[in-house]
């Protein structure tokens, strides 16, 4: 059961054409295990509860990207899936969209 990141102007505009990135539970676990201490990674920890829906507003996307890149570097992990998440987040930012995160 993946964690779905949906890029949209608003939650009510989400439909079958909405850009989507699915993050596996394994990649989620890896990210949270390297995103420590929690106070240094507040954007990542907005979706720490795998089963709770949340949102990341447009203005929070760049800080989230920076946190993920920092976690990858300090955690010395080479996750293709996390790198693909960063690409998706950059595209979302470039399109001026928000993120809505749901456990599928």
What is the count of structural domains for the chain? 1
Q: Which residues contact 22 (CB under 8 A, 6 or more apart)?
A: 2, 3, 4, 5, 104
pTM for this structure? Answer: 0.94
Please report the pLDDT score of residue 91 as a whole number: 98
Please report the pLDDT score of residue 31 as a whole number: 97
27-80 pLDDT tens trace: 999 999 999 999 999 999 999 999 999 999 999 999 999 999 999 999 998 899
Please report the pLDDT score of residue 1 as a whole number: 78
DSSP-derived secondary structure letter, 2: P
Please report the pLDDT score of residue 56 as a whole number: 98
50 is in which domain, residue-wise?
3-103
Q: Which residues contact 19 (CB under 8 A, 6 or more apart)?
A: 6, 7, 8, 88, 91, 92, 95, 97
Task: Give residue for tokens 């969209």.
Answer: 97
Higher pLDDT, 67 or 104: 67
């Amino acid at each position: 059961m993946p964690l779905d990141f949906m890029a949209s102007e608003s939650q009510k505009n989400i439909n079958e054409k909405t850009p989507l990135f699915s993050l596996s539970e394994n990649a989620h676990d890896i990210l949270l295990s390297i995103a420590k201490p929690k106070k240094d990674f507040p954007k990542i920890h907005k979706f720490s509860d795998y089963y709770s829906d949340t949102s990341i507003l447009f203005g929070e996307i760049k800080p989230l990207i920076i946190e993920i890149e920092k976690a990858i570097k300090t955690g010395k992990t080479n996750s293709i899936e996390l790198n693909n998440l960063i690409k998706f987040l950059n595209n979302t930012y470039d399109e001026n969209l928000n993120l809505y995160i749901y456990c599928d």
